[in-house]
Structure 1
Amino acid sequence: MRYGRQLTISAYTLDATVIDISQDEELATTPVTATLTANVSTAVADAVEAGDEYRLAGQPVATVQDVTREQTNGERVRLAVRVEFVARETTSGPMYGGEPLRLGRQLTVATDRYEFVGEVTAVEA
């Protein structure tokens, strides 16, 4: 097992990439706040609220801080959602979802009530 090497776990037919090999029980993380924009249905737009969390293994990894809505033509709503992510610290910057957290990146925000993909339009330092 080596850093960066891809593994196939045949019992589950799952491809994975090793991101850390160490004796530490926890990965170093840092909070990073980013704004995402997305065009979503009215139902999804109405469901998104400040305080919503995306949880992984019982721990919050993304928390909605603020949301603004702008009606577009038709039945779509343009959302601007400010989210605090629990990002993994790396030498090349914070990572979320296995990729660098940077402008232009597409991220999925999901809770038990909704899911949408938004583009990162701002990252707070």
Structure 2
Amino acid sequence: MANDDGMTYADAPLRLGRSLDIATNRYQVSGAIRSVGANASLPTDTTDVLLETGLPAVDADEVTVGDQLRIGGQTVATVETINAHATRDPNQHRVLVGLTLATISDGDTTRFGVTPVRRGNTLSLATDEYELDGRIQRVGTLEPPGTPTIRTVTLEISEVREDFAETFHAGMTERADDETIARVTNVDVEPSTLITTGDDGSVNVVDHPINRDVTLTTDLQVREATTGTTFKGRSLQQGSTVVLDLGTTTIEATVVNADA
């Protein structure tokens, strides 16, 4: 309200720097006054970010380009890009979401609500269908770093049962957003090795009677940057592991050769 001393709130003048606590039946906020007057406002803008989060697979399927996240009837974020990737847990996906945020300029700081829009900070947003609670990976862009390309990569799965090894075949794929991001082009199955000790103390290397080593030649959709090559947003190099959802099975395989 206004009186002879100017604008007041909670029986005290509204002055720069004063701290306020405001509570409604839906939310509670605290902050400090930055400007006073009839036209007091903060400059607004839009900011692109790339957010990484984990979602149940059923929720990941609900995230769609064009989704709008609204607060109080106002659009505060729009989904521009979506890349959902399988994890070791078939019921859980790792999701990279490109968002355009409605932001405010607070001096030299760009904020989404009260959160500074910086790499590493977390954001929480929700629609009626799903919640996004993730970490900002990039600011000013909707895509991961690097140039997309196809690279031939050799993968290995060690010591699996023979009946499981026989389920792999050329032509198996992983798809995301109607694109093929991994394709198996060749499969080689060999007996795993077993080290035994003879009665005379000799050490022998023999074929394992049950276990098999599976070598997969694959074409992977990767991104190449000056900092290295990534697949599904993770570093791709000899010795690293990748998770592939090949439709009938989800596997974790070791990179044997990524230089092809």
TM-score norm. by structure 1 comes to 0.86
Instruction: Indicate whether 1:56 and 2:71 are aligned.
Output: yes
Instruction: Indicate whether 1:16 and 2:24 are aligned.
Output: no
Pairing of 1:100-111 with structure 2 (within 5 A): 100-111=116-127
State the 1:97 CA deviation: 2.1
> Greater strand percent: which structure?
2
> Are 2:120 and 2:135, in contact at CA under 8 Å, matched by a contact in 1?
yes
Structure 1 gaps, min length 5:
none
Paired amino acid for 1:39: G
Q: Counterpart in 2 of 1:113?
A: 129
TM-score norm. by structure 2 comes to 0.44
- Secondary structure at the aligned position of 2:65 is classed as coil
Residues paired across the two proteins, number: 125
Superimposed CA distance per residue, residues 15-65 of structure 1 (whole angstroms, 9 cap, x where no aligned partner): 421454332265321110000001111121111111111112211010000
Q: Which of 107-116 and 71-80 deviates more?
A: 107-116
Q: Counterpart in 2 of 1:41?
A: 56
Q: 1:3 to 1:119 in 2, by over 3 A?
A: farther
Instruction: Indicate whether 1:87 and 2:103 are aligned.
Output: yes
Q: 1:19 to 1:64 in 2, by over 3 A?
A: farther
Q: 1:14 to 1:118 in 2, by over 3 A?
A: closer
Aligned Cα root-mean-square deviation (Å)? 2.3
Rounded to whole Å, the distance in 2 between the matches of 1:118 and 1:4 is: 31
Using CA pairs under 8 Å that are at least 6 residues apart, name the structure with larger relative contact order, 1 or 2: 1
Rounded to whole Å, the distance in 2 between the matches of 1:86 and 1:109 is: 12
State the 1:9 CA deviation: 4.2
Give the fraction of aligned pairs with identical amino acids, expressed as a percent: 29
> Are 1:41 and 1:77, in contact at CA under 8 Å, matched by a contact in 2?
yes
Rounded to whole Å, the distance in 2 between the matches of 1:14 and 1:29 is: 22
